[in-house]
């Protein structure tokens, strides 16, 4: 190896010992490139990226606002439908109560008609039964008048031992029966 080659190797080793961004020989140009890169990146972000992000954010805000407005409309519709539903239920209950009361009144009238018919029927049966009882009573009394002289004769004969004539018995019995 030659001396020049050895010096180049030593020089190369010396240069590699410092960190390039902190190398004072290249610090100035590095600052210029840094400022230029930062400026370009700033312009790119400011002119391209941030407007796109702003559009997306504005679109989301608008969509959220529209969704909130739609939710309020739906809430109003729901409350209106609920009120209509409750009103319909109240009307149905009132109709059911009216129908029930009407049916109850109709059944009461029908019951009254049937019971008055039955009462008249029962009254007619009672009159008929009274007539039958009066007829039976008259027959019984007539039978008693037919049998009374024989019984009275038997009783008097047994108690007193005297036989009473039938004419005397008939005279005595009607006055006792009255």
Domain boundaries, the chain: 25-177
pLDDT at 90 over 70: yes
Distance of CA 81 to CAs 28, 35, 69, 84, Å?
A: 76, 65, 18, 5
List all residues 6 or more positions away from 21 whose beta carbon is below 8 Å from its beta carbon: 30
Q: What is the CA radius of gyration of the chain?
A: 67
In this predicted structure, what is the pLDDT of residue 34? 93
pLDDT at 10 over 60: no
Cα three-residue angle 65-69-72, rounded to 5 degrees: 140
| Separation of alpha carbons 70 and 64, rounded Å | 10
* Mean pLDDT over each residue of the chain, to the nearest integer: 84
* Tokens coding 44: 């790119």
| Separation of alpha carbons 148 and 177, rounded Å | 10
Cα three-residue angle 63-67-70, rounded to 5 degrees: 140
Better-predicted residue by pLDDT, 6 or 96:
96
In this predicted structure, what is the pLDDT of residue 11? 55
Cβ atoms of 149 and 169 within 8 Å: the answer is yes
| Separation of alpha carbons 177 and 169, rounded Å | 12
Cβ atoms of 163 and 157 within 8 Å: the answer is yes
In this predicted structure, what is the pLDDT of residue 2? 58
Percentage of the chain beyond pLDDT 90 is 44
In this predicted structure, what is the pLDDT of residue 36? 97
- Per-residue DSSP letter, 47: I
Percentage of the chain beyond pLDDT 70 is 88
H or E element, residue 136: helix 50-160
pLDDT at 8 over 60: no
């Amino acid at each position: 190896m030659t001396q020049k080659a050895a010096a180049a190797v030593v020089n190369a080793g010396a240069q590699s010992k410092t960190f390039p961004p902190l190398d004072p020989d290249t610090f100035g140009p590095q600052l210029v490139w840094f400022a230029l890169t930062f400026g370009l990146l700033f312009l790119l972000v400011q002119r391209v990226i941030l407007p796109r992000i702003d559009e997306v954010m504005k679109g989301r805000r608008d969509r959220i606002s529209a969704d909130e407005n739609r939710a309020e409309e739906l809430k109003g519709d729901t409350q209106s439908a609920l009120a209509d539903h409750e009103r319909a239920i109240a009307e149905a209950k009132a109709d059911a109560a009216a129908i029930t009361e009407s049916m109850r009144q109709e059944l009461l009238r029908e019951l009254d008609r049937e019971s008055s018919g039955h009462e008249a029927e029962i009254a007619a049966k009672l009159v008929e039964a009274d007539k039958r009882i009066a007829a039976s009573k008259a027959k019984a009394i007539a039978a008693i008048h037919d049998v009374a002289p024989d019984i009275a004769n038997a009783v008097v004969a047994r108690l007193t031992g005297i036989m009473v004539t039938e004419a005397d018995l008939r005279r005595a019995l009607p006055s006792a029966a009255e």
